[in-house]
């Protein structure tokens, strides 16, 4: 019996593909995410995926952008609440911001994807620019949040220090430190604030 290939059109193609890509990264890591494996998971053809994303790099870049857009939405309530909050509440908001920023555990797909693409960025200008843009978005939001705590402080520098610390902790979380290291990162954030 000959196997037949399905060429089912997806209902919400972009969202379904990006969701499945992130799930695959969480389950098996970035290196196992191929167009063929993703197409099989979605019960469609690799050609159908190539129509939307052109290349694997295009798929990975769009997955990163889509994932980060969801995190930007998670940050919005923190920024809105900070405008009306007392200083202590805003400081708690910065810890909540860190909670959104930090890797969740070793299999956090966002950080797995980020780290995998980060290593490739020097060879792909579009990818490097996308990562700078995403980082700038996190920075701008954190600066706005910090400015609510102490308007006269150097929120730009504090944001850079905090994000550098969170990046370092996130790499450690993803590479084996897990949730225990994540808890330590949140405790360090509270201590620094």
Quick one: which H or E segment has residue 21?
A: helix 13-28
Hey, which CATH number is domain 60-192, 2.40.30.20, 1.10.357.10, 3.40.50.12780, 1.10.260.40? 1.10.357.10
Mean pLDDT of the chain: 87
- Give me the half-sphere count of Cα atoms (radius 13 Å) on the Cβ side of residue 161: 10
pLDDT interval class at 88 (50, 70, 90): low
State pTM to two decimals.
0.84
Mean pLDDT, rounded, for 128-150: 91
Domain segments of the chain as ranges: 60-192
**Interval 37-70: pLDDT, tens:** 999 999 988 888 888 888 888 899 999 999 999 9
Upper half-sphere CA count for residue 179 (Cβ side, 13 Å):
0
Which has more pLDDT, 7 or 162?
162
User: What's the pLDDT tens digit per position in 69-79?
Assistant: 999 999 998 88
């Amino acid at each position: 019996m000959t196997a037949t290939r399905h060429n089912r059109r997806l209902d919400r193609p972009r969202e379904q593909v990006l969701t499945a890509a992130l799930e695959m990264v969480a389950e098996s890591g970035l290196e196992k995410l191929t167009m063929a494996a993703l197409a099989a998971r979605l019960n469609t053809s690799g050609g159908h995926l190539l129509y939307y994303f052109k290349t694997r790099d295009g798929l990975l870049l769009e997955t990163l952008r889509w994932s980060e857009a969801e995190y930007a939405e998670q940050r919005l309530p923190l920024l809105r609440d900070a405008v009306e909050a007392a200083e202590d509440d805003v400081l708690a908001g910065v810890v909540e911001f860190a909670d959104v920023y930090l890797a969740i555990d070793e299999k956090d797909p966002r950080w797995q994807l980020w780290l995998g693409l980060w290593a490739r960025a020097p060879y792909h200008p579009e990818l490097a620019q996308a990562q700078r843009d995403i980082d700038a978005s996190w920075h701008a939001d954190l600066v706005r949040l910090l400015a609510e705590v102490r308007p006269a402080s150097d929120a730009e520098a504090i944001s850079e220090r905090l994000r550098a610390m969170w990046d370092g902790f996130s790499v450690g979380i993803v590479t084996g430190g897990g949730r225990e290291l994540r808890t330590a990162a949140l405790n360090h954030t509270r201590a620094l604030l």
